[in-house]
């Protein structure tokens, strides 16, 4: 009888320890997830508002650079227009990312709004590549070639991903209707 009682006690103890370990593991996962979420939101917000600030202060920045680099003084207006357009497009991309992140926080990722955001981000990326191509005609560097390539890849990736999300939204709606 003592063995039987001890055996039941061991079972309860093991069950308690096992459930406690699962709870701790899930709690740690939630804490990490919350920390990563907060960090990502902070980064997106910082990039968005600093992007607006940098774009708005381009006339001052480029004028200041012109004091030290002759190229920026010589092509002031061309650089201003190119960087202003690219800056606005970059801020728009980050704005779409912030919108998409809200749906992640709401735990509802596969919605039409994200499909539209991905398509817009693809278009904005391809437009940045085009603007950088114009800049390459004014002042060619190897770095501008890399930037053009990166934004073409990002634009195409966003367009393809929007199609994948579109299919996922369709499947989700069909699944919701069958339940």
- pLDDT tens-digit series, residues 121-142: 999 999 999 999 999 998 899 9
Q: Which pTM does this prediction carry?
A: 0.79
- pLDDT tens-digit series, residues 32-82: 567 788 888 899 999 999 999 999 999 999 999 999 999 889 999 999 999
Cα Rg of the chain, angstroms: 26
Q: What angle do CA 169, 153, 172 make, to 5 degrees?
A: 5
Q: What residues have CB less than 8 Å from 111, skipping those under 6 apart?
A: 103, 169
């Amino acid at each position: 009888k003592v063995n039987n009682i001890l055996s039941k006690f061991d079972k309860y103890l093991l069950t308690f320890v096992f459930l406690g370990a699962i709870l701790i593991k899930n709690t740690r996962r939630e804490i990490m997830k919350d920390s990563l979420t907060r960090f990502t939101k902070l980064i997106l917000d910082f990039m968005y508002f600093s992007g607006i600030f940098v774009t708005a202060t381009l006339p001052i920045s480029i004028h200041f650079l012109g004091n030290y680099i002759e190229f920026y003084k010589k092509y002031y207006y061309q650089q201003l227009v190119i960087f202003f357009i690219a800056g606005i497009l970059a801020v728009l991309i980050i704005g779409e990312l912030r919108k998409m992140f809200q749906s992640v926080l709401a735990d509802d990722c596969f919605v039409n709004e994200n499909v539209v955001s991905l398509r817009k981000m693809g278009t904005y990326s391809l437009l940045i590549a085009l603007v950088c191509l114009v800049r390459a005609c004014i002042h060619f560097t190897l770095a501008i070639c890399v930037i053009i390539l990166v934004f073409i890849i990002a634009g195409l990736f966003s367009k393809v991903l929007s199609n994948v999300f579109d299919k996922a939204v369709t499947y989700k709606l069909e699944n919701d209707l069958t339940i």
